[in-house]
Structure formats: structure tokens, C-alpha cells
Amino acid sequence: MRIAVCLSRLPDPETVEVDPFTGAIDLSRTLYVLNPADAAALELALRLRSDGDSVTALTVGPLEAEQVLRDALAVGVDHVLRIWEEGRTTTRPAVTSLLLATALRTEGLPDLVVCGSRSLSGGSGKVPAFIAEYLDWPVVTDILHFSLSNGRVRFRRRLPRGARSEGEVTLPAVLAVEAGTAPLRYAGLPGLMQAKRATIAHRQLPELGLSPMDLNFPSSTAHAAMPPYPRPREMFIPDSSLPPEERVAQIMSAGVAQKAGRIVDGSPEEMADAILAFLQEHGFVAGPA
Amino acid sequence: MTATNGSEHFDVIVVGAGPAGSAAALLAARAGLKVILIERGEYPGAKNVSGAVFYGSTILNQLIPEWWEQAPVERHVCRRELVLMSPTTSVSLDFRSAAEGYVRPPYNGFTVLRPKFDRWFADQAEAAGAFLLTSTVVDDLLWDGPQVVGVKTRRDDGDIRGDVVIACDGVNSWLARKAGLQRELRTHELSLGVKEVIGLDESLIRQRFQLAGDEGMALEYVGAVTEAVHGGAFLYTNRNSLSLGVLAQLSSLVEHKKRPYDLLETFKAHPAVAPLVRGGTLREYSAHLIPESGWNMMPALFADGLMVAGDAAAFCLATGIYIEGINYAMQSGLAAAEAAILACRRKEFSRYTLSHYMEALRQRNVLTDFQAYRHAPGFVNGERLQNLYPQLAALGGEALFRVDGNRKQKLLPLYWRTLRQVGAKPRHVLQDLYQVARAYLW
């Protein structure tokens, strides 16, 4: 089985110093680290690897970003690849994912792509979803743990308020792992020294069959789904015409009414439309831009 | 990718990427040797602390011509001030020079921020061909009988083999102790330095310290700053920050039950210091041990296949007039590298070949300086110099400059009275004069 892990290098938040007057970041004091969620993804990928499997680490970034790939090599990744268009300074998540997805395609599609769930810097969490979109694969986000059985990935996801959910997904798939789920192993000395000396493979746009124009697509519109501003809760006022015991019963039952759920049926498009309509109606999502 | 593994063999293994280690690695790598430089920090300099004024500009200039053009230096020091303090008063000796050696290349000294400077210096060693390995702790030496043949690192398959090991692993040198070269250090031989870097606007620094352009200043304090504890304090100007700190003898900290950071607060609040640091913002805080006894705590410097350099060899000259360490560290690193190069040429790594290290140290004036000033640290940390004389100078100054309509006394009776006032005995003063003479004059 071939596993690909997407890594990113970002400024260590502890070393980011902001001038209180100008708001400028003092870049000379900034150190760069491997994104913690990516480190967890890398560790889980390495744990999954058995004989005959291979793990490839990819990153999108300038020459300095090689460091995360060297870190990956040191802990035992088989292949590494850096993707970058010289002259660029940053990439938006959509561009990063396009580059990653294209590189995965040209280098031979893996069976499984593992990413960090979100970066500490931008933190949009879009990259795994975009990669899945470009590859037309399923994506599972917020993963705490996963294992393989019979060509399917069993996973456990983190839900809000401490809840967990478990499920299965068929390969190939994109998995987005939460930060802190697995501490990255400590590199052995031979690996570390080898990694330091390794030449890191590098792909530019033409080698990926892309032109700079391909990266200039109009900015995507993301609809953020956030809990709406809490509306004042209506106080239940019992009907004053009723006898006291019934009013008490009414008060007692008022808070425990069952939450009503609705299951939508139909084709995927219809279901998506129904969900979107519901979210808009209840104020979770602003109307279409 | 070159095929390598942990048992790969190096000519020279340098442990610790401080000034000593990087200098050794740089010189050995330039001589074409296969060198590995091992550092426990995430990057060289991450764990390194000193004042820091680097007085070794001319030394480094021989290695890397015009090094200050490319290195991250802060300011060149052309103003120095030695300050004696009582709790309310300070008396100082102010030195400022626009002479060639102080304001023109190669300059006399530079203030540096160690994390930046050490990182740059290790990069130079790496560029010269040394293999830099960071985030790796060296735990032990590898032995073959009496011969050191490598080091054991705290990683899987972590043995690294080499012909010569140069231990530049700092004041609490683990390796020197493992090899039986250094004994347990005593608390009166060590000082604890606590240091703050305080951010301050560049123009404010120039105004406050009367500096132009990249000129810098080094102030050193003795007396009430450390209360009854033996020690001193320093304040150095960086480009847009100040490095200031307090050094306190460990044994005397214990004896007086003082905390070093309390002393630092007292120091910052002193009327002579407070106006200099006012309005600054704390940028960094660090602490470090300093091997202050120099000559008297020096370990055996070499064994079969092993040499000790830098702070690990106690190459820190703290005499009151001179507070230098980085330059001696570099010199000792270079001397060790010279001995290593010789040994590699002869393919003979016993202590007899490595004894060339001592010769090189003497040629580089390291041992001679420490021997010459071997009495100074004891004197500087003496009770009377620490507290009595600063007090005396302060009271004398107060009496001398006070105008209150009383009859003006001539200087001798004035100082005689001050002497009695602080309870100094003439016998002790004479004794100390002899001490000063022995420590500094001949």
C-alpha cells in the first residue's frame, strides 16, 4: 500500500513576536516548525506502514520548507517531494491543495492520503477537503485514530463537546488527523544523519503540467457555518385559566420536550439543497453570495 | 543519497556548538578533516547564554576576514564603565575611546546576542564542511581501553565513532567528568548569572548612553547591587535592546539565602540603573553558570583521544577588569583543532600527540593569561572588595562633593575619616593593596 502524507512548515507561535505599536511581526525572531497536526498525521501513517508499504511525504513551500521533509526522512519516511513555484511568497489553501493533488496524480496516486486537520497558522482546515475534491475521493476530518481492515479504514472522529463517532471509509480516501493524537517518534541517529545529507526532490509547475494561470482561479467563496447569535429564549408562561396542578404539570414538562429531528431523502443534490435551506432558514449560514 | 549509518567514522567529533566548538569544527573542517559538530539545542545558540560582549574580533578576523560585515553583531564597544555602588550612590571609572583600535575595523569588541551569533558561527563551520547535527544530546564517551573512540548520543543507534573528541559542552561538562578529567565543582568556584534582554528604541539607547551610530557601551558594576552576596552586574547595549544581568557566587547565594532574580530586580531599581532601563520591555530571560575561578578549577585538558575546550575547560577570565570568555573559548577551540589536525596527520591519537594542545594554548596566550591572573578571581570575590570598598568609594564621594558650609577638609583626613566610618582597618587595606598588586601588577 502507498500512503502519502502532506506536511507544512509554519512559524512557531511561541516565537512570533508582534510589535504592540505597529502590529508588525518581528520575523528575525521567528523559528519554523512542523505543523503539530501534520506531525500526528505523519506518526499515524508510519504506524500504519507494514512490509511492502511505502510512505511519501509532500510539502508545498520554498527551499526552507525542506526542513520538514528532512524531519520526515529522519523518522523513516521512504520518499519526499517538495512542490513550489519559485517567486511565490504564499499560497492560499485552494492553491496548496491543487498543487498537492496534481503532484499526487503525476507521481502515481497513492491508496491513502493523510493530512493534518488544520494548521496552527492559517487554521482554515480547507486543504484536506480541497485535496479530496480535486482527487474526487472521500474525505474524513477530525480523525483521532484509524486502522486498516480489508481495504477499508476504520476511524474514530472527534465531535464537539467531547463526543466521538466511529465509522468506515473505503480506500482511496483522504484523512485529516487532529493535532496531538500521536506524538511523532524520536528519530534515530542514522536516520537523522541520512536525512540531513539527503537531496530533496523538487517539482515545479511545468513538471506537474500546470501553468501559473491555473493557480490564478478566482477566489473561492466559502460559506462558514457558525452557531447563530443566540436568540432570546421564549419564557414559557402557563395558561392562567388552567387549574394550578395542570399549570405545574405544564411548567414541569416544558423543558423536556423532545428535540425534533428531520431526515431528508432524495438524490445527493436534493439532500444538499434541503440541508442548505435548513441552515439558511435557521440563520446558521448567510444567504448565497 | 549517500549511504551512511550511525557507526560512520569521523576524524573529529566536536561536542557543543558554542564559540569553542564551532571554532574547532571550522578549523578542522578547513584542514580537510571529516568533522561532526553535535549540538543539543534545536539550533546552535538556542541554549547558549553569556553577557555578551565578544572581545575576540581580531582572532575571528584571522579566520573569517571582515567577519563583522556578515555576522549578526549588535554594537562595537568603544565605551566601558566600571561602577562602584552603595545602595544610594555610584562612583564610576568611565572609559571612552575614539582611538583606531576601538572605532575602526577590526574593532576591539562587539556586543552580540548569542542565539544569533552562535548560529551564524556554526553555519560558517558547516559551510567549511563540518557536519552539523542538532537536537542531539551526547550522554557518554565510547572507550577502547584507555582511548576515547567516540561518543554515545541519546538517540537510537546513537554511537558515533571518531579519532578525536573535542568536548566543548559547557561549564557543567559531562564529558570532562566522565573521562575523569574534571572533579565535582565547588560552589565558590561557580557564579550564577541571571540575565534579561530589555527591548528599547534604538534612538533612546543612543541618547541615554551617548553613543553615535553603531557605537556600544559595556558597564560593569560592583558593590551594593548584589547586597551582601559576592558578585557583580553588567549592562551592555545592543542595537535595539539592553542586555543586563547579575552574577552571584553560588556559595554566597546559599549562605545569604538570596534568590538571584531578586538581586536582578534590586539592580534594575538602583538609582544609577533605573533611568537607563526605564520604558524598556522584557524580551528574554536566561540564566547560566559561570566558571569564575579560571586557573584554579581548570580540569586536565586532554586524555587519549579527548580534549576539553571552552567553558568546559573553565576558560572564563573573570578578574574584575576583564570579564571575557567567548574569545578564550574560540582560542581554545582553535588550539584543540590544531592538535587534532596534527594527530590526524600522524594517525596517532594518544595523549602524547594531543599534548600539543597545551602548546597551542600557550601560543594563543590562553594559558598564560589565566596563569597571570590566577589570583584575581579570589580577590575579586573577597569580602572587602565586594562590599567594603564600593561603600568606601561611595561615602568618600558623598563627603567630597557635599557642600554644606562646613569647613572643607583636605583629602587625606577626609578619606581617613571615611575609612574609620565604614570600619575598615588600615591593616586590611594594606593587605588588600598587596593582594591587588599580586593579582594585577606583576
Residue B137, pLDDT > 60, answer: yes
End-to-end CA distance of chain A: 42
Task: Quote the cell numbers at residue B151.
Answer: 561518543
> Exposed (0-12), middle (13-18) or buried (19+): which is B246, by Cβ within 10 Å?
buried
Q: Where are the domains of chain A?
A: 2-216, 223-289
The neighbouring-strand residues paired with B83 are B92, B221
Alpha helix positions (H), A125-243:
127-135, 189-197
Q: Give pTM, 2 decimals.
A: 0.84
φ and ψ at B78, to 5 degrees?
-125, 5
CA B428 to chain centroid: 31
**CB–CB of B24/B166 below 8 Å?**
yes
Nearest CA in chain A to B36: A193
The residue that leads in pLDDT, B268 or B105, is: B268
Task: Quote the cell numbers at residue A220.
Answer: 473561492
Which residue among A31, A186, A192 sits closest to B133, beta carbon to beta carbon?
A: A192
Q: Which residues contact B47 (CB under 8 A, 6 or more apart)?
A: B40, B41
Mean pLDDT score of chain B = 90
| Contact: B4, A188; criterion CB under 8 Å | no
Domain A2-216 has CATH 3.40.50.2000: no
The span from the CA of B372 to the CA of B362, in Å, is 12
Q: How confident is the model at residue B303 (pLDDT cuts 50, 70, 90)?
A: very high
Q: Name which of A64, A192, A197 to mutate to probe chain B: the one with the most chain B Cβ atoms within 10 A of its Cβ.
A: A192
Output the pLDDT for position B322. 80
What's the pLDDT tens digit per position in B418-430? 888 887 788 888 8
Q: Which residues contact A139 (CB under 8 A, 6 or more apart)?
A: A128, A129, A131, A132, A133, A173, A174, A175, A176
| Residue A72 distance to chain B (closest CA, Å) | 15
b (16+ CB within 10 A) / e for A93-106: bbbbbbbbbbbbee
| Contact: A188, B1; criterion CB under 8 Å | no
Nearest CA in chain B to A199: B1
| Residue B261 distance to chain A (closest CA, Å) | 23
Which residue among B116, B132, B156 sits closest to A188, beta carbon to beta carbon?
A: B156
**CB–CB of B147/B305 below 8 Å?**
yes
**CB–CB of A248/A256 below 8 Å?**
no
Nearest CA in chain B to A79: B1
Output the pLDDT for position A15. 83
| Contact: B6, A188; criterion CB under 8 Å | yes
Could you please report the per-residue DSSP string of B253-309? HHHHT--HHHHHHHHHHSTTTHHHHTT-EEEEEEEEEEETTGGGGPPP-EETTEEE-
| Contact: A196, B133; criterion CB under 8 Å | yes
What's the pLDDT tens digit per position in B178-189? 999 998 888 888
The span from the CA of B176 to the CA of B167, in Å, is 7
The neighbouring-strand residues paired with B324 are B317
Q: Which residues contact B238 (CB under 8 A, 6 or more apart)?
A: B74, B75, B111, B113, B197, B216
Which residue among B1, B4, B116 sits closest to A190, beta carbon to beta carbon?
A: B4
The span from the CA of B25 to the CA of A61, in Å, is 31
Residue A280, pLDDT > 90, answer: no
φ and ψ at B155, to 5 degrees?
-145, 165
ipTM: 0.78
- Chain B CB contacts of A196 under 8 Å are 131-133
Tell me the domains of chain B and their CATH numbers: 9-72+113-183+299-364 (3.50.50.60), 187-291 (3.30.9.90), 378-441 (no CATH)
Residue B359: in which H helix or E strand, if any?
helix B356-363
The span from the CA of A54 to the CA of B407, in Å, is 94
DSSP 3-state of B439: helix
The span from the CA of B181 to the CA of B173, in Å, is 10
| Contact: B133, A194; criterion CB under 8 Å | no
Identify which of B234, B338, B249, B252 has the alpha carbon closest to the alpha carbon of residue B290: B249
- Chain B CB contacts of A192 under 8 Å are 133, 136, 155
Residue B104, pLDDT > 90, answer: no
Residue B224, pLDDT > 90, answer: no
Output the pLDDT for position B231. 87
The span from the CA of A202 to the CA of A107, in Å, is 12
**CB–CB of B263/B246 below 8 Å?**
yes
Which residue among B1, B116, B153 sits closest to A197, beta carbon to beta carbon?
A: B1
Residue B4, pLDDT > 70, answer: no
Residue A117 to residues A113, A148, A175, B100, B314: CA-CA distances in angstroms? 12, 19, 8, 60, 50
What's the pLDDT tens digit per position in A86-107? 878 777 888 899 999 999 999 9
Nearest CA in chain A to B132: A196
| Contact: A189, B1; criterion CB under 8 Å | no
Task: Quote the cell numbers at residue A285.
Answer: 449560514
What's the pLDDT tens digit per position in A162-209? 889 999 999 899 999 999 899 999 999 999 999 999 999 999 988 888
- Chain A CB contacts of B132 under 8 Å are 196
- Chain A CB contacts of B1 under 8 Å are 194, 197-199
| Contact: B6, A189; criterion CB under 8 Å | yes
The residue that leads in pLDDT, B1 or A245, is: A245
- Chain B CB contacts of A31 under 8 Å are 42-43
| Contact: A197, B158; criterion CB under 8 Å | no
| Contact: B131, A193; criterion CB under 8 Å | yes
| Contact: B131, A198; criterion CB under 8 Å | no
Q: State the pairing for strand pair B306-308/B302-303.
A: antiparallel
Task: Give the count of beta carbons closer than 10 Å to the beta carbon of residue B104.
Answer: 12
- Chain B CB contacts of A189 under 8 Å are 6, 136, 153, 155-160
What is the count of residue pairs from A and B with beta carbons less than 8 Å apart? 45
| Residue A209 distance to chain B (closest CA, Å) | 27
**CB–CB of B111/B118 below 8 Å?**
no
The span from the CA of A126 to the CA of A136, in Å, is 15
| Contact: B160, A189; criterion CB under 8 Å | yes
Which residue among B42, B43, B155 sits closest to A186, beta carbon to beta carbon?
A: B155
